[in-house]
Structure 1
């Protein structure tokens, strides 16, 4: 009887120890190791660095696009000014040709060649 009682106590004790070992192992597996925590911190730092770099790139891209718009407007103004200048030059040439033709006509009239 003592032997069966002793076996029962040892059995209960064994089951308790086994349960404790299983519980400790499971809890240990649930807790991340220091290496994983270090990798997680490094991952977060790299992610923040990447986000900052992307924000900087977005700002640079916006600045480049703004500069492109300014250059495009300046080119359009220059092109318009060149077109205006060409039109003005053509007008001056036409007026000069008309004045020359009128002068030649008046000379011919004065000489009696033309009525």
Structure 2
């Protein structure tokens, strides 16, 4: 079991896919990390061994905001928008789509979240 940035990586997947299980790392950033650490992207996570430290060093050198700290930053940005009563903040309070999506037929996800958002 390999843990990077507080997330467990699945042992039976390639390292590029395994790194995407960390909140804040997508496919392109995972490829960049593998290149900088000089690791073959098709290496399985269980076969890494001491190369895990290289990955951790690359992540710490690049100062990526990952995991729970990234979630904290995003939630703080949402709270800031709500407190300054911007357009997006008002949409968040009402539980409506924020980024200009249509609302008549396809805002089901936002409407599902509306009940929990209104209690804030």
User: TM-score scaled by structure 1?
Assistant: 0.24
Structure index of larger Rg: 1
Higher relative CO (Cα under 8 Å, sequence separation at least 6) belongs to 2
Which has a greater percent of strand?
A: 2
